[in-house]
Amino acid sequence: MGKGKFIVISGPSGVGKGTICKKLFKEINAWYSVSFTTRAPREGEIDGVNYFFVTKEEFLKRIDEGEFLEYNYYNDNYYGTSKKIVLEKMEQGINVFSEIDVNGARNIKKIFPDALLIYIAPPSMDELRKRLIGRGTDPIERINERLSIAEEEMKQVGFYDYVVVNDELEKATKEVKEIILKEI
């Protein structure tokens, strides 16, 4: 049995990557890697499904114990990918699907040079701002922080294998699906 492929989806907060991932996961033969995070759950998020929600102390302990394949500090919270679970799945020939940020994607590419990296970009920063405000989950200061991070991230997308602009959700989802099916 061959090794599974690591598929990374990245993009700024509010770009729609979570929605795209949910739609794709139903259609693509892959295991969805649930990340650990220290951020509080948003309304409707379930521990162990959307993220493993842990305290900062628990996260730092896991770092010390070498439990993460990659981890990052983003927007005042830690995020990380379990080393043990991912490696087990890939050894079984199962493709691993992960939604992580630019820094995490860089780390994954170092560990798995043949990983497939797809960046979901907004049609414009103005549209991204509208989407973030429309979510109604963050105060304006946090939205401005997210936009600043997005601008910096978008300067680094050159190492991704593909960049897909999410100007229309169904079109972007179809494009990402076609890329993944072609590459796995």
**Virtual torsion, Cα 27, 17, 114, 48, nearest 10 deg:** -80
**pLDDT value for 86:** 92
DSSP 46: -
- Count how many residues are written for the chain: 184
Judged by DSSP in three states, 142 sits in helix
Token output for 42: 């948003």
**pLDDT value for 42:** 87
Answer for the pair 120, 10: CB distance below 8 angstroms, yes or no: yes
DSSP state letters, 86-139: HHHHHHTT--EEEE--HHHHHHHHHH-TT-EEEEEE-S-HHHHHHHHHHHT-S-
**pLDDT value for 64:** 96
pTM: 0.85
| Residue spans of the chain under pLDDT 70 | 1-2
What radius of gyration, in Å, describes the C-alpha atoms of the chain? 16
**pLDDT value for 2:** 60
